Structure 1
Amino acid sequence: MKNRTASYVVQYELLTTTRDRKSLEKKFNSAKSIYNACLNECLKRLDRLKKNDEYSSLLKEKSSKKRNRKLKEIELSLNYSEYDMHKYVKDIRKLYSKHIGSLEAQKLATRSFQTAEKLHYHIADKVNFKNRYSDMSVENKSNNTGLRLKDNIVLWNDLKLKIKEKRNDIYNIQSRNDKTKYIRILKKKIRRKTRYFIQVIKEGIPPKKRNYGQETVGLDIGTSSVAIVSDSCVKLEKLSNTENEYKKLRRLDRKLERSKRINNPKNYNDDGTVKKGSKRWIYSNRYIKLKQKRKDLYRKLASKRKEYQEILANKIISLGVDIKVETMRFNALQKRAKETTINKKNGKINKKKRFGKSLINNSPSQLLTIIDRKLHYVGSYLKRIDTFEVKASQFNHKTKEFVKKKLSQRWNVIDNIKIQRDLYSAFLIQNVCDDLKSINVNLCNEKYDKFVNLHDIEINRLKETKEMRWLIA
């Protein structure tokens, strides 16, 4: 059995010389080669598995223990398993034994198998091999041999690398008391400069930074905003602070497309569409630099968004650790609409795109993952209510009736008082019973007057700051 103890990550930057960087590049290139070779072999074995007649017929049967056991037996007979990849990587590692240890190679083999499994279970449509521009990470299985951290120095075969520590960082000082499970070394391209980091995976829970509240918190999460309601707080917050950065990205995309078309005129039809079939693409040095700039911008956006959501999660947990949220299938929201509809105003066919772009830009699922991770540190978890039973967006606690509303309808009218729809849903979610399937109407009636007062304060704040005007219009 694998070790399932609690763990957390502490990250440091590495201090490197020119010689160190050359040696690290050789190691990362070796790691990429091993990963690509393992992934290629995984895909070959997966292809053989899919072509197996018995396996294909079993997949069509109803899921059962007997059927699943047979599927596993066929997979093992065709050497398609994580441990078979560990055997396969032994011979490949011999070519790179100066740079990559046996346990590190096994981890790369595991990663390649997990990538192939995404294709196997239709989680991904395609998989990518690592090229020379790809970021890469290498990790060990333990902190005893090979890549390891000892006395604040990273040891990796012939390399000895010091870590860059912040002075008087109490969090890092306290984390030293916990056992190091293993370390991971990363290569990142930041502002066209290659930098190296280590992530130290520690055993236990992270040092406590702040106090946690005792209130029950209800969250109504959307594709671009989250409504937060507790006994002392009513807030409507954005899910990210990166909306102004996407103009730069669009300009870069247009520059890249122009450069690509100028250098490859034979690959396009007269109407501007790309010709079918295999083609040879020529990329200019300017195109490569622009692509690296675009990649760095995506890195900034992801980093900025995650930092914002970490802070937002801390604010939510400071209210209380009993947090409830609707069960949402975000992957369903990003799919295109199936039905073709016509716009009544102009008679044109409506676009079938839905919330894909908003989900990519705002990452609502990431916020919930962060909250759940932080709650586990204090022995709690994110409670997901039954969306179809509760129907928070339709329920009126005064009349006890369910009324369907259009997505464009942003306000509820309750006792002649206008209440913002998302905030009211979060209020109802806060007062869901312990079974997570029904709303406690008596509790709603007790807390409603205070909620309305806090609601009005928040709406006035949003009107003054002109934030999220589309939600309060």
Structure 2
Amino acid sequence: MTKNNNNTDTCVLTLPLRVEKWQEDCLLKRFEAARRIYNSLLNFELKKLRQLERTVEYRQIQSVISSAYRSNTKDSPECKDAFKRREKLISANGISEYGFKSDVKFFYKHFDGLIGSNVAVHCIAVQLWAAFDKYLRGSGKEIHFKRLGDISSLKGYSVKGKSGGCEIIFRGQYIEWTRKKKKLLLPLKIDPDNEYEREMLSRRVKYVRIIKKPGKNRLRWYAQLTLEGKPALKYSAETGKPIHSVGKGNVGIDIGPQTVAYASDKEVALLELADRVTNIEHQKKKLQRKLDRSRRATNPDNYKPDGTIKRGVKLTRNKSKRYLKLQSKLAYIQHRQAEIRKLQHTCLANHMLTLGDRFFVEKMNWPGLAHRAKETSISEKTGRYKRKKRFGKSLANKAPAMFISILKRKCETLGLPGVVEVDTYSLKASQYNHLSDTYEKKSLSERWNYMPISDGSDSSKTKRIQRDLYSAFLLQHTIPQPCSFDKKALRIDYPNFVTMHDAEIHRLESLPKTITSMGVRRSHS
């Protein structure tokens, strides 16, 4: 669920389309026209930006910003003033969302039989401005042109009141997309017995997005309806109760590149994130090698005798039928992984919502964990250079940041207190021991905490507690302001946590295989 500029709640419903072959051909032509409009507009706006960057005023402002970043004074008033002046200068030269919407009219008119002003102005221009805005704010390194087939969705407003009129319209049982003499009526696959779909479709439709997804043997087409209001609740047909109930209380979440540990008053668990997502790197490499061999066979003039690609000449792009089949197969296996990952994250978020309504998680710098190490070091054990790779592949496969964003969105939809991201360096949950009220730094390989047992018999006795589960338990008892632990509640709830912790460790030991970072070995008893 999101909110538009009028502060009205917005939700989406995605339904599959029944598309015939001739309709798919028409859709592909329109998507290709949209790609050409996007690239033409991008080329036009990049020229404007390069001309602006050559002006004296812009270069002076940029030098102030660069020197502030070099001297680590980017929060200074001079730097903030330079950012404001640069933003005004960029906007004054027509590099803005409004400017993009105005400029796109020079390009879509050549494809007027395929793409109208509604889609061009409110979809293509807005999409390109989002990329430009990200680039101008320093979040992106480069704005890329769209390759053939890269446009995967197009939207059009389905209500009157927007410039360009209505173009992609919801008509109850089908989607109408009419341009000039070519009318496309795309039937929707609607389940008449589905109460959730029936309630959602009774709402006002703001705009419709046509989505293209790769399938196993052919393309799959969907209509994503953006509706007014909050999403409807799903009820069980047998009991009549909500399928996803919402609990009360705090839940602590300790999330890593591959695993997630959570602790609540009802349940404690340590799980592998998206365990159904398998490693497809070997399969991808085989397909990519096949694609490379096919490219070399069909485009021999693109390569030098030593096999390297030619530079500074226009290359041919001939693709055989086998190449296109392999390309679609590669796209499908990657898309399938993404769908499984998103489904599992959504199911886990729904389960966590049954445990509580406020979630505490440490704020993580995921891009930093994905980057390779900068320093070159030698292992003391082997005397060899240590590998610089870190968690990039695990983050790509498991997508922990996606899980947090899904949980945030669901909390916002339900009007819950939501996800509270606490400062990692203030709490130091992985180092704190609430029984001794001390901090002890541990290496990444140490997966267990040894907690003292005060039973009165032997003070040297300790209890093994899994590190991630204990961190989740500590985060569950976080006081947001000031950022600290509720030490009294920790001592009261600790015995119950130990009981649930032991049951979870016993469950993990009975599994045939676990993630190494869990530190749990299979029990042979």
Alpha-carbon separation, structure 2, partners of 1:277 and 1:438? 59
Q: How does 1:293-312 map to 2 (within 5 A)?
A: 293-312=329-348
Give the letter aligned to residue 110 of structure 2: L
Give the letter aligned to residue 374 of structure 1: K
Alignment match, 2:238: none
Q: Is it true that 1:129 corresponds to 2:145 in the alignment?
A: yes
User: Equivalent residue of 1:199, what SS?
Assistant: strand
Instruction: Give, in angstroms, the shift of residue 276 of structure 1.
Output: 7.8
Q: Would the alpha carbon gap of residues 192 and 123 (structure 1) be closer, same or farther in structure 2, given more than 3 Å must change?
A: farther
Instruction: Give, in angstroms, the shift of residue 125 of structure 1.
Output: 2.8
Alignment match, 1:385: 422
Alignment match, 1:95: 110
Per-residue CA deviation, residues 269-309 of structure 1 (Å, 9 max, x unaligned), is 86x8x568447477662344322211111101101110111
Per-residue CA deviation, residues 177-231 of structure 1 (Å, 9 max, x unaligned), is 3221211111222124122211001122111232101131100010011001101
Q: Is it true that 1:112 corresponds to 2:128 in the alignment?
A: yes
Instruction: Give, in angstroms, the shift of residue 14 of structure 1.
Output: 1.5
Q: How does 1:452-471 map to 2 (within 5 A)?
A: 452-470=498-516, 471=518
Gaps of 5+ in 1: none
* 8 Å CA contact 1:385, 1:436 repeated in 2: no
* 8 Å CA contact 1:386, 1:436 repeated in 2: no
* 8 Å CA contact 2:210, 2:222 repeated in 1: yes
Q: How does 1:133-144 map to 2 (within 5 A)?
A: 133-144=149-160
Alignment match, 2:283: 248
Instruction: Give, in angstroms, the shift of residue 39 of structure 1.
Output: 1.7
Normalised by the size of structure 1, how large is the TM-score? Answer: 0.93
Alpha-carbon separation, structure 2, partners of 1:197 and 1:469? 36
Alignment match, 2:221: 196
Instruction: Give, in angstroms, the shift of residue 394 of structure 1.
Output: 0.7
Q: Is it true that 1:183 corresponds to 2:201 in the alignment?
A: no
* 8 Å CA contact 2:100, 2:129 repeated in 1: yes
Instruction: Give, in angstroms, the shift of residue 55 of structure 1.
Output: 2.0
Instruction: Give, in angstroms, the shift of residue 11 of structure 1.
Output: 0.5
How many residues align? The count is 471
Alignment match, 1:313: 349
Give the letter aligned to residue 198 of structure 2: I
Give the letter aligned to residue 220 of structure 1: D
User: Equivalent residue of 1:11, what SS?
Assistant: strand
Q: Is it true that 1:472 corresponds to 2:493 in the alignment?
A: no
Alignment match, 2:267: 233
Alignment match, 1:73: 88
Instruction: Give, in angstroms, the shift of residue 267 of structure 1.
Output: 4.0
Alpha-carbon separation, structure 1, partners of 2:513 and 2:52? 53
User: Equivalent residue of 2:60, what SS?
Assistant: helix
User: Equivalent residue of 2:104, what SS?
Assistant: helix
Instruction: Give, in angstroms, the shift of residue 412 of structure 1.
Output: 0.6
Instruction: Give, in angstroms, the shift of residue 248 of structure 1.
Output: 2.4
Alignment match, 1:214: 248
Alignment match, 1:404: 441
Q: Would the alpha carbon gap of residues 154 and 287 (structure 1) be closer, same or farther in structure 2, given more than 3 Å must change?
A: closer
Give the letter aligned to residue 69 of structure 1: K
Alpha-carbon separation, structure 2, partners of 1:352 and 1:256? 29
User: Equivalent residue of 1:345, what SS?
Assistant: coil
Normalised by the size of structure 2, how large is the TM-score? Answer: 0.84
Q: Is it true that 1:428 corresponds to 2:474 in the alignment?
A: yes
Alpha-carbon separation, structure 1, partners of 2:302 and 2:172? 59
* 8 Å CA contact 1:39, 1:115 repeated in 2: no
**Runs of 4+ deviating beyond 6 Å:** none
Alignment match, 1:450: 496
Q: Would the alpha carbon gap of residues 20 and 47 (structure 1) be closer, same or farther in structure 2, given more than 3 Å must change?
A: same
Q: Would the alpha carbon gap of residues 233 and 342 (structure 1) be closer, same or farther in structure 2, given more than 3 Å must change?
A: same
Alignment match, 1:153: 174
